[in-house]
Amino acid sequence: MSAERILVVDDEELIRWSLVERLRAEGYDVTEAGTGAEAMERARDGVDLVLLDYRLPDTDGVAVLRQIKELDPDVLVILLTAYASVETAVEAMKEGAFHFANKPFDLDDVAFLVSRALETTQLRREVRRLRASQAQPYAVDRIVGQSSTMEMLRTLLGKVASSPASTVLLTGESGTGKDLAAKVLHYNSDRAHKPFMNVTCSALPETLLESELFGHERGAFTDARQLKRGLFESADGGTVFLDEIGEMVPALQAKLLRVLEDRAFKRVGGLQDIKVNVRVIAATNRNLEEEVRAGRFRQDLFYRLNVLPVTLPPLRQHLDDVPALTSFYIDLFNREFRKDVKGASPAALKVLQSYGWPGNIRELRNAVERAMLLATESWLEPSDFLLSPAAAAAHGDAAFRLPPEGVNLEALEQSLVVQALERCGGNQTRAAALLGMNRDQIRYRVEKFGLARPHHS
């Protein structure tokens, strides 16, 4: 954190000089002013604390105090005065002064007062920041990471959120933040005060999913005793988030396409068109183009969804964000577990940054959570993290070195996948772990290389 900024306001140069010197020696970032007007100018640049003389050539301290508090109520003001009277003291306290120091003062006393006061501001700011973040848990800043990849992602999400775009496609491996991105999109759009409806397409059998999405009329099928509104109707004005869209069966894909094109649908068993105004955010960790080629996903729906694609990158492609994400989760779990872990040690960060993170940010979050439960020291050490060594080796610097003549990557990949499957007796989940992949990634390669049969006899 950068040094706290202190503003010293006094018209007597010698007093100002002695205060400035002393506070600089304490490590603060100090600026000064000789008049009330100058003080306000400096205060506008942002300060944490003001040492304010009561007697100023152009105005009095209490008036300046009032203006500073208007600018930023969290700024602390310590009033310095040679003319302490009960009335001025009471008045100053009413206006929110933190404390009084009588002139002539002892520099040690002032330095002590300043350090105590600054602890208070920090606390107040922290509480305010927490409150604000609870009021708006899905601000764009909830997407953590300073890499250019994440900067671009935040900018893009911000733009898309406030655009009139009616469909957005989120793609990315499991744990990269698709869910989070969907909420950020909704809560930063002008639909934020309307419903956000979420359904996981793979979680329900086809007929149930259909009535979940579109509702049904009374008597539409045996169990349909009464009319039911679907998600699209309930979400009117808001957002429908269709997670795992790649798993949606073709019949429903057709109905969905119609909603996207005509903004209309019929309830199951219904004749009448129902019009809605919803934004549809679809997410998948599959490669939809592959799915289209394989005939499992409608091409027209893919094109309609793909108008605004947003790709969440795998964590191994922005490892420079690992420190920021780690400290974000340390903060979070410090609050949750009432702990006071200071951070991850440089050695631990090095380990975390050379790991492949097949489970992406979700895996990092879980790793930090587990480490914080195990940690006995105030810094997290490499031994607190239980990372899969195979996945680490696959991405770490001990990994394969490119020979001078180069390699055939495709053939190498195939050979490694075959070896991993052989070693695991054809168990794809375990083979995937050996290669630092998730199940979808290995399944995709098994299909690509035509490896399915020999291992599934």
Ligand X SMILES: Nc1ncnc2c1ncn2[C@@H]1O[C@H](COP(=O)(O)OP(=O)(O)OP(=O)(O)O)[C@@H](O)[C@H]1O
Q: Which is nearer to ligand X, 51 or 209 (CB)?
A: 209
- Subset of 177-216 contacting ligand X (CB under 6 A): 177-180
Q: Which of 143, 160, 231, 371 binds ligand X (CB under 6 A)?
A: 143
C-alpha–C-alpha distance, residues 211 and 233, integer Å: 11
Scan residues 275-304 and list those touching ligand X (CB under 6 A).
285
- Contact indicator for 181, 143 with CB cutoff of 8 Å: yes
Near ligand X by CB under 6 A: residue from 36, 172, 246, 356: 172
Q: 359 near 438, Cβ under 8 Å?
A: yes
In the list 362, 395, 430, 439, the residue contacting ligand X (rule: CB under 6 A) is 362
Q: Are strands 228-229 and 215-216 parallel, antiparallel or unpaired?
A: antiparallel
89 beta partners: none
Q: Which stretch binds ligand X (CB under 6 A): 39-47, 173-181, 250-258, 444-452?
A: 173-181
- The one-character DSSP state at 110 is H
Backbone dihedral angles phi then psi of residue 228, each to the nearest 5 degrees:
-130, 130
Count of residues that interact with ligand X, criterion CB under 6 A: 17
Compare residues 101 and 144 and give the one whose CB is closer to ligand X: 144
Q: Is residue 145 part of the contact set for ligand X (CB under 6 A)?
A: yes
Partner from ligand X, Mg ion, none binding residue 176, C-beta < 5-8 Å depending on class: ligand X
Partner touching 215 among ligand X, Mg ion, none, CB below 5 to 8 Å by kind: none
User: DSSP character for 145?
Assistant: -
Segment contacting ligand X (CB under 6 A): 6-14, 45-53, 141-149, 286-294? Answer: 141-149
- Helix axis angle, 13-25 relative to 107-135, nearest 10°? 60
Residues 6+ apart with CB under 8 A from 262: 273
Please tell me whether the peptide bond between 104 and the residue prior to it is cis, using omega within 30 degrees of 0.
yes
For Mg ion, the closer CB: 178 or 186:
178
Of 27-35, 139-147, 233-241, 257-265, the segment contacting ligand X by CB under 6 A is 139-147
Among Mg ion, ligand X, none, what binds residue 36 when CB lies within 5 to 8 Å by partner kind? none
**Cα angle for residues 126, 127, 132 (degrees, 5° grid):** 95
Q: Is 144 in the site for ligand X (CB under 6 A)?
A: yes
Which one of ligand X, Mg ion, none interacts with residue 365, CB within 5 to 8 A by kind?
ligand X
Q: Could you give the angle at the alpha carbon of 177 between the alpha carbons of 172 and 183, nearest 5°?
A: 120
Q: What is the DSSP string of 21-35?
A: HHHHHTT-EEEEESS
Nearer to ligand X, 16 or 178 (CB): 178
Instruction: Name the minimum Å distance from CB 384 to Mg ion.
Output: 27
Query: Least distance in Å: CB of 177 to ligand X?
Result: 3
Quick check: 177 and 312 in contact, CB under 8 A?
A: yes
Closest separation between CB of residue 246 and Mg ion, Å? 12
Token pair, residue 359, equals 């489970």
Q: Which of 228, 279, 304, 365 binds ligand X (CB under 6 A)?
A: 365
What are the angstrom distances between the C-alpha of 447 and each of 369, 436, 439?
Answer: 35, 18, 12
Q: Which of Mg ion, ligand X, none interacts with 236 (beta carbon under 5 to 8 A by kind)?
A: none
29, 179, 247, 381: residue in contact with Mg ion (rule CB under 5 A): 179
In the shown chain, the binding pattern of residues 137 to 176 toward Mg ion, with x for contact by CB under 5 A and - for none, equals ----------------------------------------
Could you tell me the smallest distance in angstroms from the CB atom of residue 333 to ligand X?
12
The answer to whether the beta carbons of residues 308 and 165 sit under 8 Å apart is yes
Nearest to 124 by CA among 179, 81, 75: 75
Residue 369 touches Mg ion, criterion: CB under 5 A: no
Residue 291: how many CB atoms within 10 A of its CB? 18
How far is 151 from 143, CA to CA, in rounded Å?
A: 9
CB nearer to ligand X: give 5 or 178. Answer: 178
Instruction: Look at residue 165 and give the partner it binds from ligand X, Mg ion, none, a contact being a CB closer than 5 to 8 Å depending on partner kind.
Output: none
Q: Which does 369 bind (CB under 5 to 8 A by kind): Mg ion, ligand X, none?
A: none
Per the DSSP assignment, residues forming a β-bridge with 379 are 343
Contact call for residues 78 and 97 (beta carbons, < 8 A): yes
| Closer residue to ligand X in complex, CB, 364/421 | 364
- Cβ contacts of 271 within 8 Å, gap of 6 or more: none
Q: What is the DSSP pairing of strand 274-275 with strand 279-284?
A: unpaired
Q: Report 376-395 residues binding ligand X (CB under 6 A).
A: none
Residues making contact with ligand X (CB under 6 A) = 143-145, 172, 174-180, 285, 325, 328, 361-362, 365
Residues making contact with Mg ion (CB under 5 A) = 178-179
